[in-house]
Structure 1
Amino acid sequence: MLNAIEMILICLVAQAALTDLALRKIPNVLILSGLLLALILHLLSGQPGAPLSQWLAGGCAGFFLFLPLYLLRGMAAGDVKLMAMVGAFVGPWQAVQIAALSAQLGGAMALWMWWRYSSKVSVGIPYGVAIALGTVGVVAWRHH
C-alpha cells in the first residue's frame, strides 16, 4: 500500500505530465509546491535527519542527474526541476532509479515521435510524461 508521500508524489507528477502534454511546460508553482510538501512530509515523518538526508540529497541528485541534458539542450529546464522535486520526495537512490527508467521511457517516446512525425515537424518531447511514468514505475516496483 502506498504511503502519503508516495501518493502525493504520484498526484504531482501526474499533474506535471498532463500540463507538459497540454502546454509543453511544467509550471514553477507545481515544482515549488512539491518541494515544500516533500520537506514538510519528511519533517513530519519523525525520522531524525530525514530532511537533510532524503529531501536535500534527493533533490540535488535529481537535479544534477538531468542538468547535463539541459546544458546540452536535450531537455527543458522544467524537466530538470521536476526531477529535482521527485528526488526530494524519494531520496537520492530512488532518484537515480527513476532517472534511469525515465531516460529509457523518454528514449522510447523519442523513437515513437520520430517514427510518427518522420522529421516533418520539429516537436519537443514532453519529458514530464517520461518522468511521471518512471516515478510510478519505480514506486510501484517497491510495493511489488
Structure 2
Amino acid sequence: MFNAIEVILICLVAQAALTDLAIRKIPNVLILSGLMLALILHLLSGQPGAPVSQWLAGGFAGFFLFLPLYLLRGMAAGDVKLMAMVGAFAGPWQVLQIAALSVLAGGGMALLMLLFNGRWRDIAHNLKLICTPLLLRLLGMPLLPVPLPPKASVGGIPYGVAIALGTVAVVVWRHH
C-alpha cells in the first residue's frame, strides 16, 4: 500500500506533467507547495532526522542532478526545480533512481519527437557544429566557443512528463 508521501508526490508530478504539456511551464506555486508539503510530511513521520536526511538532502540531490542540464540549456529551470521537489519527497537515494529513469524517458520522448517532426537533419547539423571544435581540440588545436544560430533548437520536450514517468515507475517498483 502506498503511504501519504508517495500518494501526494504522484499527484504533484501528475499535475506538473499535465501543466507542462498544456502550457510548457511548471508553476513555481506547485513546486513551493510541494516542498512545504514534503517538509510537513517528513516532520510528521516521526523519524528522527527525516527533515534533514530526506527532505533537505533529497531536495539538494534532485536540484544538483539536473542543474548541469539547465546550465547547458538542455532543460528549463522548472524541470530542475521539479526534480528538487521530487527529491524532497523521495530522499537522496531514491531521487537518483528517479533521475536516471527520467533521463531515459526524456531521451525516448526526444527521439520520438524527432521521428515525428522530421528534424533529423537539423539535429545532425547541430551535433556537427558542437562536436567539430571538440574533435579539433583532441587534435591539439585551441578550443573555441561555438555559437549556435538563434533558431538552432530542434524543439524542446515537456520534461515534466519524463520526471513524472520516472517518479511513478520508482514508487510503483518499490511496492512490486
Q: TM-score range by the shorter chain?
A: over 0.9
With structure 1 as the length reference, what TM-score do the two structures score? 0.98
- The alignment partner of 1:74 has SS state of coil
Percent identical pairs in the alignment equals 82
With structure 2 as the length reference, what TM-score do the two structures score? 0.80
> What's the offset of the Cα at 1:15?
0.1
Question: What are the ranges of 5 or more consecutive residues in structure 1 without an aligned counterpart?
Answer: none
Question: What are the ranges of 5 or more consecutive residues in structure 2 without an aligned counterpart?
Answer: 123-152
Amino acid at match of 1:97: Q
Task: Please give the alpha-carbon distance, in whole angstroms, between the structure 1 residues aligned to 2:118 and 2:83.
Answer: 29
- Between Structure 1 and Structure 2, how many residues are aligned? 144
* Dislocated runs of 4+, deviation >4 Å: none
Aligned to 2:56: 56
Larger radius of gyration: 2
Task: Please give the alpha-carbon distance, in whole angstroms, between the structure 2 residues aligned to 1:85 and 1:23.
Answer: 20
Query: Cα deviation per residue 1:58-117 (whole Å; 9 max; x = unaligned)?
Result: 000000000000000000000000000000000000000000000000000000000011
> What's the offset of the Cα at 1:122?
3.8
> What's the offset of the Cα at 1:123?
2.6
- CA RMSD, Structure 1 to Structure 2 (Å): 1.1
Aligned to 1:138: 170
TM alignment of 1:98-113, pairs within 5 A:
98-113=98-113
Task: Please give the alpha-carbon distance, in whole angstroms, between the structure 1 residues aligned to 2:41 and 2:15.
Answer: 19
TM alignment of 1:1-144, pairs within 5 A:
1-119=1-119, 122-144=154-176
Query: Cα deviation per residue 1:19-75 (whole Å; 9 max; x = unaligned)?
Result: 000000000000000000000000000011000000000000000000000000000
- The alignment partner of 1:2 has SS state of coil
Task: Please give the alpha-carbon distance, in whole angstroms, between the structure 2 residues aligned to 1:122 and 1:48.
Answer: 48
